[in-house]
């Protein structure tokens, strides 16, 4: 999966053959930023088929994805979801998520997705479990499940960096079709307001060391690591302090009685540069408010983190001394210190908390001795690189009701192959092995294991070593009997109750505090239950196990508290995950580093003497027998007087400025991960000390172009009585103004000696080499042109080699063609089909010099075969059934030959034919699947009906009168029917004509009457005879009706309707049409809308079925008139009134047309119209025909 981000600051394989290897899972996070709108952030997540693994269980398909969450609605499809932790811009308060685009592909094959089941406790038997059957309403649906591809879950924060937790569902299931749809790309926008305030920030008092811890944690949990940074709290975001003088990186919380016994551990922390102190519960309870002691402790933790910059808290004591905080999840009361670590309740750990449940001075000292032994003086042979991983079956395939194997072995194999370095000697203990697992574990622990990782059922006094299959476990007594003195283990277990620290004698305590320098030094495990989903041994608590190892070996979070915080903060923080996070607890020192490689050692040089008061103190650190050590952590410490820390630079140097107040020893301690700590002292004295030559030591200088080289040199006198220097005693160049400068001629190495002298003649000399190198352009070496043949599109990787004499390549990029360069390799996922990638890559060094190289990669991606035949058919048997063969036809677009097999129905495939012998009459349903070499397939479903032959059935003798249009040949269909539709022959036994395809054919004469007998024979030889008499009559043409001419008068244009008709002597009239003039015939009427006054000559032609015709001709005259203009002179005036009165009373001429005189639209012309017209003309009455036109 690849994720890209755009930030807007407020500014076919079947289920049986699709086996995608989990080891191939590569999640690449490549994030870019672009503006969209204020208060938004856009992300794109990309997925490929290689991200998923498919298993079969209990007749269903389980789709899995590493370190995922699931859709958990019981009985509904159980599909994996990817959880993203997206670092947000400052202030963005996410309110919603909106998907803006996506790309998808339908996965080949069909799938029966496993219905979601409730999670199981790792200690829980499945005997009483009930299998949740598929939800019929969902599994019968044609809707995609889930309907949403992405969902905003929650917002949280760590060290001032806010995160949005987003759940993406890259797979959607169409249950009715059993199809899986993969969203190869999902782009969504997070939207919100600009008012988010974090629950915690980085303290201004935090040390450089603490800040680096948070920077690593944030970048590792973020899906967009380049956007994740701790933010220092402003005063308004800090709690009011009630603390004494600080700061402190580490705080130990204990009772007043126990506090003095932790002094050795506190001193060691201070010596190595982790400023530490003990704070008693008496002080906390008396100083801080809260409804209970737990809340008071939490308020102290908040104050210490805000104002001291404290990030590590070790709680010393049992529950009665320093209480746990218990919460209820899934009906269980869970004690934990998570309450103190996640003090703003957002399910992100803010500080790193561990506990030692020692309850007397002996147990306290035993714990401290183990920590100091592990950190300072570990056994160096056959121990540090030893690890034991134990992974047992959590459920087995024969267990009802799931009948599904959940193998812890898979979890441990993943941890071994993905995280544990190859130089480790790993002992594996699995149920699949035949040896005695209990004996194997005891033997391994007695030999001494740096790391012990456990996956099996447990309780407070035992840890399983094959509980499900063998009933084996180690007990507290076994732990007490271990003989691994000096070789103590760091332990992580997902078993239930193994770390039940509130129980007075849990097995984790036997490992850590009950035995001197043996057993274990730290135990990370569950105070109550661990959880998993049946069928996925990498889920829930197992996922946190994976995250823990990822922190140690991939994320550089090698301290116990850091690793547990990463494991918790990588989880979604919702649902059953909250139980998993809350119960996981550390019995151990959270600041303790874990050895992840063979220890190296230091060679440290520094002045053996220093004066009182402020002075420079230069420390140089080399690896024993090797070169300089960069980023070694140096601490100068005098209790109550000096605490100075710093990291060495690339030359292995650091200069600190201690200011001791009294004479005596100052501790000098150097630490770095996977180095044995260096401990020594320097003497604070009041005698004159020689000056110090401030030179870089052997130095390499790299130049892009030939230029003058300069670097600072100087002298420092602790007593302030320097007389001369720095003086160049030997070597080229010159010293001026505190710098040595030299103009080289090219790449060369020069030796220099510098001298400083004080007023009492004491001197220092420093000789060192300066190696000068001038940049040389790189040379690109392309991979060979190649062709990939793939079953499904999958990412390919081709290394592009670069030879660079200077070793300063910045990076390589694709400047032409598809794909991208990732860690020196060209990576590309092709589309379906044939694709040719012509690629040019440019590699550039730090000086801007570059090389280019080109290569070609051809991809041939498999297409599924296409099934063609057989198709649905019916087979008729004349007698006893016999074998039939139907060709099976399919083709492969890639040129292969598919392998076909019957998946449903009877029969067999022989030499490319489906063959079957039926039993009399039946219908069979057959599905044939044809599969190519890649496992992609097509399916062809067809039906074959088998019938026993029945003879044809002829009609009784019948007479037929035939209307003939002419003396041409006529075809008359025979009345014979065949139940099997298999007539193959017709023969005239009597009479004229011929027979073809079930039709009697004959050319008649006027008045013909003929008698005919035809024999109809079927494919089995069965027949019948059909006899009939045919009487032929000849067609008469149609007769058109009469239609006179018509005159139509109208005030405004309207459609004219004129009835037209014809009769036919033979009753075979076929229709009519307008063959001359405008208009058309509709429902027995000629109709037309004129454009104005006109005379229209119309011909309507009627035709019968023999194409005989008659013509109906008429004329239509169209007259236009104005209502009230009875004189037709174009005006309505007194003349029209006179004309109208004369017509009504004296027999004068009628209006033309008469309708022009019906001015009141009454339908008659009378005195009312005269009155109406007079009113209109003389008194402004309504216009003629107003409202009735």
Residue 1057 within a domain: yes
DSSP letter at 1042?
P
> Tens digit of pLDDT for each residue in 505-545?
999 999 999 999 999 999 999 999 999 999 999 999 999 99
- Full residue range of the structural domain in which residue 897 is found: 866-948
Average pLDDT (830-859) is 92
**pLDDT for 8:** 34
Of 580, 575, 555, 658, the closest CA to residue 613 belongs to 658
Average pLDDT over residues 774-783: 94
- Same domain? For 528 and 577 the reply is yes
Average pLDDT over residues 104-127: 92
Q: Looking at residue 31, what is its pLDDT?
A: 36
Given a cut of 70, whether residue 558 has pLDDT beyond it is yes
Closest CA to 582 of 345, 408, 391: 345
Q: Is the pLDDT of residue 1013 over 80?
A: yes
The number of domains in the chain is 9
- pLDDT of 473 strictly over 70: yes
Task: Please report, for residues 605, 608, 649, 720, 1134, the alpha-carbon distance to residue 615 in angstroms, rounded to integers and kept in the order given.
Answer: 17, 13, 20, 9, 131
Tell me how long the chain is. 1189
Q: How confident is the model at residue 49 (pLDDT cuts 50, 70, 90)?
A: confident
Question: For residue 19, is pLDDT > 90?
Answer: no
Could you tell me the pLDDT band of residue 1152, with boundaries at 50, 70 and 90?
confident
Is the pLDDT at 84 greater than 80, yes or no?
A: yes
Do residue 676 and residue 699 come from a single domain? no
CA distance 116 to 904: 29
Is 331 among the domain residues? yes
The whole-number average pLDDT for the span 282-293 is: 98
Over range 307-317, report the average pLDDT.
98
Decide if pLDDT at 298 tops 90: yes
Query: Does residue 165 share a domain with residue 123?
Result: yes
| Residue 597 placed within a domain | no
Question: Does some domain include residue 580?
Answer: yes
Q: What is the CATH number of the domain that holds 1013?
A: 2.60.40.10
Contact 980, 953 (CB under 8 A): no
- For the beta carbon of residue 969, count every other beta carbon within 10 angstroms: 11
Q: Model confidence over 134-181: pLDDT tens digits?
A: 999 999 999 999 999 999 999 999 999 999 999 999 999 999 999 999
Band of the pLDDT at 28, cuts 50, 70, 90? very low
Assigned token pair, 663: 């004479």
Domain edge (last residue) among 838, 861, 884: 861
Residues 131 and 45 placed together within one structural domain of the fold: yes
- Kindly indicate the confidence band of residue 38, based on its pLDDT and cuts at 50, 70 and 90: low
Is 1147 within the bounds of a domain?
no
Please say if the pLDDT value at position 12 is more than 90: no
One domain for residues 565 and 503: yes
Does residue 1176 lie within any of the structural domains?
no
Burial 1065-1082 (b: 16+ CB within 10 A, else e): ebebbeebebeebebebe
| Segment 559-604, tens digit of pLDDT | 999 999 999 999 998 899 999 999 999 999 999 999 999 999 999 9
Q: How confident is the model at residue 695 (pLDDT cuts 50, 70, 90)?
A: confident
Greater model confidence, 1147 or 461:
461
| CB atoms inside a 10 Å sphere around CB 450 | 23
Convert the pLDDT of each residue in 1048-1098 to its tens digit: 888 888 899 999 999 999 899 999 999 999 999 999 999 999 998 899 999
Q: Are residues 239 and 290 in the same domain?
A: yes
- The CA-atom distances, in angstroms, between 1146 and each of 340, 493, 1158 are 120, 126, 18
Overall average pLDDT of the 116-131 stretch: 91
Q: What integer best gives the mean pLDDT of the chain?
A: 91
Greater pLDDT, 934 or 709: 709
* Residue 792 and residue 728 share a domain: no
- What's the rounded Cα separation, in Å, for the pair 268 and 597? 22
Reported confidence tier of residue 36, pLDDT bands at 50, 70, 90: low
Q: How many other C-beta atoms can be found within 10 angstroms of the C-beta atom of residue 256?
A: 11
Percentage of residues of the chain with pLDDT beyond 90: 73
- Do 794 and 713 fall into the same domain? no
Give the CA diameter of the chain: 160
Q: What is the mean pLDDT of residues 119-130?
A: 89
- Predicted confidence at residue 34, as pLDDT, reads 41
- Residue 324 is given by DSSP the state -
Q: Residue 823: helix, strand or coil by DSSP?
A: coil
Q: Model confidence over 938-966: pLDDT tens digits?
A: 999 899 988 888 889 988 767 888 888 88
The percent of residues in the chain predicted with pLDDT above 70, rounded, is 96
Best-predicted range by mean pLDDT (313-322, 709-718, 928-937, 995-1004):
313-322
Domain co-membership, 443 together with 507:
yes
Is 60 exceeded by the pLDDT of residue 1014?
yes
* Predicted pLDDT of residue 1: 43
Q: How wide is the angle at C-alpha 930 spanned by C-alphas 928 and 936, nearest 5°? A: 130
CATH number at residue 75: 2.60.40.3800
Identify the pLDDT of residue 277.
Answer: 98
pLDDT at res. 1015: 92
Residue ranges of the alpha helices (H) in 796-907? none
- What mean pLDDT comes out for the span 490-505? 95
Same domain, 395 and 509: yes
pLDDT of residue 66: 83
Reduced 3-state DSSP string for 417-454: HHCCCCCCEEEEEECCCCCCHHHHHHHHHHHCCCEEEE
Tokens 């003090």 belong to residue: 343
pLDDT surpassing 80 at residue 458: yes
Among 927, 948, 969, give the residue marking a domain's end.
Answer: 948
Same domain? 1023 vs 1056: no
Segment among 20-34, 102-116, 825-839, 867-881 with least mean pLDDT: 20-34
Look up tokens 């060709």; give the residue: 887
Q: What is the mean pLDDT of residues 1144-1153?
A: 86
Residue ending a domain, among 725, 749, 774, is: 774
Tell me, what's the pLDDT at 469?
92
pTM of the model as a whole: 0.68
Let me know if residue 1168 belongs to a domain: no
Above 50 in pLDDT, residue 383? yes
User: Residue 293 falls within a domain, yes or no?
Assistant: yes
Confidence of residue 14 (pLDDT cuts 50, 70, 90): very low
Reply yes or no on whether the pLDDT at 316 is more than 80.
Answer: yes
CA distance 595 to 380: 11
Query: Does residue 332 share a domain with residue 392?
Result: no
- DSSP string of 607-667? -SEEESSS--EEEEEEETTS-B-TT-EEEEEETTTEEEEEE--TTSEEEE-----SSEEEE
Tell me what pLDDT residue 33 has: 37
Task: Tell me the C-alpha distance between 133 and 402, whole Å.
Answer: 11
Helix 560-569 × helix 541-553 angle, to 10°: 130
pLDDT at res. 974: 87
234-268, pLDDT tens digit by residue? 998 888 899 999 999 999 999 999 999 999 999 99
């Amino acid at each position: 999966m690849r994720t890209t981000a755009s930030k807007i600051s407020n500014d076919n394989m079947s289920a049986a053959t699709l086996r995608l290897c989990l080891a191939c899972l590569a999640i690449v996070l490549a994030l870019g930023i672009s503006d969209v709108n204020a208060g938004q952030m856009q992300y794109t997540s990309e997925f490929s088929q290689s991200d998923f693994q498919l298993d079969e269980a209990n007749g269903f398909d389980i789709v899995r994805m590493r370190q995922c969450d699931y859709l958990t609605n019981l009985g509904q499809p159980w599909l994996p979801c990817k959880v993203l932790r997206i670092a947000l811009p400052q202030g963005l308060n996410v309110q919603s998520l909106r998907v803006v685009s996506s790309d998808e592909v339908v996965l080949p094959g069909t799938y029966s997705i496993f219905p979601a089941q409730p999670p199981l406790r790792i200690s829980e038997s499945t005997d009483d479990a009930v299998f949740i059957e598929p939800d019929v309403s969902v599994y019968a649906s044609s809707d995609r499940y889930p309907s949403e591809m992405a969902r905003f879950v929650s917002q949280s924060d760590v060290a001032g960096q806010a995160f949005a937790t987003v759940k993406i569902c890259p797979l959607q299931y169409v249950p009715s079709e059993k199809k899986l749809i993969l969203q190869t790309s999902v782009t969504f926008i997070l939207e919100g307001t600009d008012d988010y305030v974090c629950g915690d920030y980085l303290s201004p008092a935090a040390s450089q060391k603490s800040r680096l811890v948070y920077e690593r944690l944030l970048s590792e949990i973020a899906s967009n690591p380049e956007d994740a940074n701790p933010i220092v709290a402003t005063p308004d975001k800090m709690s009011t302090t009630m603390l004494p003088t600080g700061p402190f990186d580490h705080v130990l919380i204990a009772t007043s009685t126990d506090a003095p016994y932790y002094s050795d551990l506190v001193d060691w922390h201070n010596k190595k540069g982790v400023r530490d102190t003990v704070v008693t519960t008496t002080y906390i309870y008396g100083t801080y408010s809260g409804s209970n002691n737990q809340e008071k402790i939490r308020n102290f933790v908040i104050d210490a983190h805000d104002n001291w910059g404290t990030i590590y808290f070790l709680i010393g004591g049992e529950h009665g001394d320093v209480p746990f905080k218990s919460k209820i999840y899934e009906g269980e009361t869970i004690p934990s210190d998570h309450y103190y670590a996640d003090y703003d309740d957002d399910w992100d750990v803010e500080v790193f908390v561990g506990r030692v449940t020692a309850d007397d001075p002996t147990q306290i000292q035993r714990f401290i001795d183990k920590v100091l032994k592990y950190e300072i003086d570990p056994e160096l042979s056959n121990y540090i690189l030893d690890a034991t991983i134990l992974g047992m079956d959590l459920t087995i395939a024969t267990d009802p009701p799931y009948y599904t194997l959940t193998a812890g072995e898979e979890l441990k194999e993943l941890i071994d192959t993905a995280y544990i370095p190859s130089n480790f000697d790993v002992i594996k203990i699995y149920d699949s092995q035949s040896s005695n697992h209990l004996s194997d574990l005891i033997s391994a622990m007695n030999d001494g294991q740096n790391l012990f990782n456990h996956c099996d059922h447990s309780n407070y006094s035992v840890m399983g070593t094959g509980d499900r299959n063998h009933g084996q476990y180690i007990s507290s007594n076994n732990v007490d009997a271990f003989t691994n003195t000096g070789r103590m283990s760091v332990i992580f277990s997902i078993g239930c109750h193994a770390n039940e620290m509130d129980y007075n004698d849990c097995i984790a305590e036997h490992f850590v505090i009950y035995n001197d320098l043996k057993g274990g030094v730290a135990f990370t495990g569950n105070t109550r239950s661990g959880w998993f989903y049946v069928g996925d041994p990498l889920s829930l608590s197992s996922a946190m196990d994976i995250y823990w190892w990822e922190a140690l070996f991939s994320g550089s979070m090698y301290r116990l508290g850091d690793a547990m915080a990463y494991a918790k903060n990588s989880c979604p923080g919702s649902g059953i995950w909250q139980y998993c996070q809350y119960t996981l607890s550390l019995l151990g020192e959270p600041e303790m580093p874990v050895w992840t490689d063979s220890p190296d050692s230091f060679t440290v040089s520094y002045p053996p003497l220093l004066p009182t008061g402020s002075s420079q103190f230069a420390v140089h650190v080399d690896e024993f027998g090797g070169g300089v050590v960069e980023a070694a952590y140096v601490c100068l410490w005098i209790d109550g007087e000096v605490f100075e820390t710093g990291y060495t630079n690339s030359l292995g140097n650091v200069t600190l400025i201690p200011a001791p107040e009294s004479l005596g020893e100052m501790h000098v301690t150097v630490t770095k991960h996977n180095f044995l700590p260096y401990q020594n002292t320097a003497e604070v004295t009041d005698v004159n000390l020689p000056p110090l030559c401030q030179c870089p030591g052997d130095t390499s200088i790299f130049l892009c172009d030939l230029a003058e080289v300069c670097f600072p040199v100087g002298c420092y006198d602790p007593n302030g009585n320097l007389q001369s220097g720095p003086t160049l005693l030997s070597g080229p160049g010159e010293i001026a103004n505190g710098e040595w400068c030299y103009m080289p001629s090219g790449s060369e190495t020069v030796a220099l000696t510098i001298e400083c002298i004080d007023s009492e003649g004491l001197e220092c000399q420093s000789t060192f080499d300066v190696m000068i190198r001038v940049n040389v352009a790189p040379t690109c070496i392309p991979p060979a042109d190649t062709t990939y043949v793939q079953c499904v599109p999958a990412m390919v990787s081709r290394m592009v080699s670069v030879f660079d004499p200077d070793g300063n390549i910045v990076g390589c990029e694709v400047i032409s063609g598809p794909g991208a360069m990732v860690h020196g390799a060209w990576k590309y996922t092709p589309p379906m089909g044939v694709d040719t990638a012509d690629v040019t890559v440019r590699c550039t060094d730090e000086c801007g010099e570059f090389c280019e190289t080109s290569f070609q990669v051809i991809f041939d991606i498999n297409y599924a075969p296409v099934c063609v035949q057989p198709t649905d058919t019916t087979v008729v048997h004349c007698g006893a059934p016999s074998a039939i063969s139907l060709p099976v036809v399919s083709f492969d677009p890639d040129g292969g030959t598919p392998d076909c097999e019957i998946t449903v129905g009877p029969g067999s495939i022989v030499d490319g034919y489906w063959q079957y012998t039926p039993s009399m009459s039946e219908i069979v349903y057959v599905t044939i699947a044809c599969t190519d070499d890649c496992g992609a397939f097509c399916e062809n479903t067809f039906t074959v009906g088998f019938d026993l032959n029945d003879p044809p059935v002829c009609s009784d003798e019948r007479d037929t009168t035939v209307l003939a249009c002419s003396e041409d040949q006529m075809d008359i269909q025979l009345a014979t029917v065949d139940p099997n539709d298999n007539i193959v022959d017709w023969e005239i036994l009597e009479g004229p004509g011929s027979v073809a395809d079930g039709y009697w054919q004959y050319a008649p004469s006027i008045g013909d009457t003929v008698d005919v007998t035809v024999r109809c024979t079927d494919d089995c030889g069965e027949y019948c005879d059909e006899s009939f008499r045919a009487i032929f009559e000849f067609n008469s043409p149609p007769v058109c009706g009469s239609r006179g001419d018509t005159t139509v008068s109208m005030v405004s244009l309207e459609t004219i309707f004129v009835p037209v008709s014809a009769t036919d002597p033979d009753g075979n009239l076929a229709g009519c049409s307008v063959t001359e003039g405008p208009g058309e015939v509709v429902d027995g009427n000629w109709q037309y809308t004129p454009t104005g006054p006109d005379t229209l000559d119309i011909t309507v032609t009627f035709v019968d079925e023999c194409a005989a015709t008659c013509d109906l001709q008429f004329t239509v005259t169209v007259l236009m008139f104005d209502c009230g203009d009875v004189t037709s002179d174009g005006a309505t005036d007194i003349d029209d009134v006179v004309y109208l009165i004369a017509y009504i009373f004296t027999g004068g001429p009628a209006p033309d047309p008469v309708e022009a005189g019906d001015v009141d639209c009454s339908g008659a012309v009378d005195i009312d119209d005269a009155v109406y017209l007079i009113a209109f003309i003389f008194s402004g009455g309504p216009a003629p025909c107003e409202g009735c036109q």
